[in-house]
Structure 1
Amino acid sequence: MQKNNAATIKSNTPAPDRKQGGAVLIVCLVMLTILTIIGIGTTTDISFQSNMVRNSQLRLNAFNTALSELNGQYRKMVDENREDILNEAQFSGPVTIPAADLTQTSANNPFSQEVTVVYLAPCGSGQATGSMIGSGSPFQEFCFELNSIVELDNTGVGSSQTSGIKRLVPK
C-alpha cells in the first residue's frame, strides 16, 4: 500500500478581488432584455402580416362574389327571358332584384348583397355610346347597367361591380 505524499503549497499572496463578478450578470440581463424586445417585435409583425393577408382574402372573396352575381343574373335574364325587370327599370326607375332571386347565396356566405338594374338611355343617344346597328335597322337598342354591391358587415370590406346590358327591341 502506498500513501499519498502530496504536499500542500501555501502562498502568502491573497486571492484576487472578485469585484467584477456582477458585470457578467448585468451583461446577461441586458442580452435577455434585447432578445425579449426582438421577440415581441417579431410576434407583432407576424400578427400584422396575418391580418393583412386575411383582409386581402376577404376583399378578393367580395370581388368574386359580386362578379359571380353579375354573371349569374345575366345568365338568369337570358335563360328565363326576364324582360319584366328590364321593362320595370326602363319605365319605373332603378329596380332592386329581390334577395330570393340572388344567385350567389349559400349558408356559409357571410356577405350582404344588393343587385340593381338601372336604365341608362337609348344606346347612341349621347349618354351611352357605341351603337352597333344602323339607323335603317328595324330595331332600337336600349342600354342598362347591372350593379352588384357586396359588403361584409362591420369590416369595411366590400366590392361594387357593374356590367352593361344592351337590349334590342323592335321600333
Structure 2
Amino acid sequence: MRLILASASPRRLELLARLGIVPDAVVPAEIDETPRKGELPAPYAQRMAAEKARAVAEGGSLVLAADTVVAAGRRILPKAESEDEARAALTLLSGRRHRVLSAVALVDAEGRARHRLSASIVLFKRLSADELDAYIASGEWRGKAGGYAIQGRAEALVRSLSGSHSGVMGLPLYETRALLRAAGYSLG
C-alpha cells in the first residue's frame, strides 16, 4: 500500500524511520494555518492535521498528516519566525508548564479519515537571561512551534515531560502506528 507523508518536516521523516517506515512520497500540504477566532489548541491541531491530509489525499493511497501545537493555557503559540517571537514564547514558557498537542490524521485509500491526538505536558526550567540569549543565538527556534525544538538544545531546558517525546517532536509514534495498523498498513 502506497504511503504519502503530507509534510515537509525532516523530523517527521526521521520519526517515521524509527517505525521502519519510508513513505513512498512526501507531498507538503499547502493550506492556510491561521487559527480561527476563539479556536482552542486541541481542536486547532486536529483541524490542521485533517486539512493537511485531505489537501494531499489521492485515491488508492494512504495519506498521513500531523500538526503540533504548543499551548500556554488557551493560547496557541505560533511557529517562531523572528528572534522577537522566539524570545516572547520562551519568556512565557520559562519556569512553567505548557501543553504540546500533536494531532495525526490518516486518510485511507477509500477516502476515510482516522484521527488521533497526543497531549503532553512539558515543564521548562526558569530560564536565565544568559540561557535565553544562548538559545536564541543558536537559531534552533526558527519555524518551531513555541520557539523551541525538544530534540535539540532545548531538551536540556526541560525539567519534566509527561506524555510523548515523539509527539513533542512532531509525530507521536504510538498514535501513528495505531492509525497505520488500523488502516491495514504493513509494519515490520
Whether these two folds match at TM > 0.5 is no
Higher relative helix content: 1
Query: Looking at CA atoms only, which structure, 1 or 2, has the larger radius of gyration?
Result: 1
